[in-house]
Chain A
Amino acid sequence: MSAAPQPLFPKALVANRGEIARRVLRCLRSLGIPSAVVYHEADRHSPAVAEADEAVEISGASPTAAYLDIEQIVAACARLGVAAVHPGYGFLAENAAFARALADAGITFIGPSAEVMELMGDKIASRQFVAEHGFPVPPSVELAATDAGFGQAAADLGFPLVVKASAGGGGKGMNIVASADELDRALRVAASEAERYFGDGRIYVERYFTDIRHIEVQVLGDGERAVHLGERECSVQRRFQKVVEEAPSPAVDDAMRARLGAAAVGIASAAAYQGAGTVEFLHTPEGEFFFLEMNTRIQVEHPVTELVYGVDLVAEQVRIAAGRPLSLNQDALRPNGHAIECRLCAEDAAGGFLPETGRILHLREAKGEGVRVDSGLHPGQEITAAFDPLLAKVVAHGPTRQAAIDRALGALRSTVVLGVGTNAAYLAAILAHPAFARGATDTGFIGRHQAELLAAPPADALAKALAAAHLADRQTRLIDAAMPSLHAAMGSWTN
Chain B
Amino acid sequence: MNATHRIDGREHRVLALRRGACQRLEIDGSPLEASLRWTGDHEGTLTVNGHEHPVAAAQDGPVLFVHLEGRTWRIETIQGFADRTEGGAADGGIRAPMPGVAVEIEVEVGDQVAANQRLALIESMKMQTEITAPVPGVVTAVRVAPGESFERGAVLIEVERSD
Interface residues of A (CB under 8 A from B): 61-65, 171-172, 193, 196, 239, 241, 347, 350-351, 353-359, 361-362, 364, 384-386, 389, 412-414, 416-419, 421-422, 424-425, 428, 456-457, 461-476, 479-480, 483, 487-489, 491-495
Contact = CB atoms under 8 A, between A and B. Distances in A.
Given A461-B71, A470-B3, A473-B59, A385 B124 contact: yes
Of A171, A428, A465, A473, chain B has the most CB atoms within 10 Å of the CB of A465
A467 B32 contact: yes
B65 to A, nearest CB: 4
Interface stretch (B34-42, B86-94, B135-143): B34-42
B130 interface: no
Which 9 A-B pairs rank lowest in CB-CB distance, beginning with the nearest?
A413-B70, A385-B99, A361-B58, A418-B65, A471-B36, A472-B57, A362-B42, A418-B58, A467-B34
B23 interface: yes
B147 to A, nearest CB: 4
A487 B149 CA distance: 51
Contacts of B7: 462, 465-466
Given A413-B70, A461-B69, A470-B25, 5 more contacts: A350-B8, A362-B41, A421-B72, A470-B3, A480-B19
24 contacts: A241-B126, A351-B8, A355-B100, A361-B59, A386-B101, A413-B70, A416-B67, A416-B72, A418-B67, A456-B8, A463-B28, A464-B53, A465-B7, A466-B7, A468-B57, A469-B75, A470-B25, A471-B23, A471-B46, A472-B59, A472-B64, A472-B66, A494-B1, A494-B16
B34 A471 contact: yes
Interface residues of B, number: 67
A466 B12 contact: yes
Contacts of A385: 98-101, 124, 149-151
A335 to B, nearest CB: 29
B17 A494 contact: yes
Interface of B: 1, 3, 5, 7-9, 12, 14-21, 23, 25, 27-28, 30, 32, 34-36, 41-44, 46, 48, 53, 55-60, 64-75, 77, 97-101, 103, 124-128, 147-152
Contacts of B69: 413, 461, 464
Contact of A467 (B20, B46, B72): B46
A280 B79 CA distance: 52
A469 B44 CA distance: 12
Contact of A491 (B1, B19, B65): B19
Contacts of A63: 149
Interface of B, helix, strand, loop or mixed by DSSP:
strand
Nearest to B152: A357
Contact of B14 (A470, A474, A479, A488): A470
Contacts of B66: 418, 465, 468-469, 472
Nearest to B36: A471
Nearest to B75: A469
Contacts of B74: 421
B125 A470 contact: no
Contacts of A471: 23, 34-36, 46
Contacts of A62: 101, 147-149
Contacts of B18: 491-494
A10 B72 CA distance: 45
Of A384, A422, A456, chain B has the most CB atoms within 10 Å of the CB of A384
Nearest to A474: B59
B99 to A, nearest CB: 4
A461 B48 CA distance: 11
Contacts of A351: 8-9
Contacts of B25: 467, 470
A386 B148 CA distance: 8
Contacts of B20: 488-489, 491
Contact of A473 (B21, B32, B64): B64
Nearest to A352: B98
A424 B77 CA distance: 22
A472 B65 CA distance: 10
Contacts of B42: 361-362, 418
A136 B68 CA distance: 49
Contacts of A355: 98-100, 124-125
Contacts of A461: 68-69, 71
Nearest to B122: A385
A243 to B, nearest CB: 13
B17 to A, nearest CB: 6
A441 B22 CA distance: 47
A320 B53 CA distance: 51
Contacts of B15: 494
A359 B15 CA distance: 29
Nearest to A359: B60
B18 to A, nearest CB: 5
A463 B27 contact: yes
B30 to A, nearest CB: 7
Contacts of B17: 492, 494-495
A469 B57 CA distance: 8
Contacts of A64: 101
B72 A422 contact: yes
A466 B27 contact: yes
B149 A468 contact: no
A416 B57 CA distance: 10
Contacts of A358: 60
A241 B127 CA distance: 12
Given A385-B151, A488-B19, A361 B124 contact: no
Contacts of B124: 354-355, 385
Of B12, B28, B97, B99, chain A has the most CB atoms within 10 Å of the CB of B99
A157 B112 CA distance: 47
A361 B152 contact: no
Contacts of B73: 462, 465, 469
A38 to B, nearest CB: 19
Contacts of A422: 72
Contact of B65 (A65, A361, A412, A425): A361
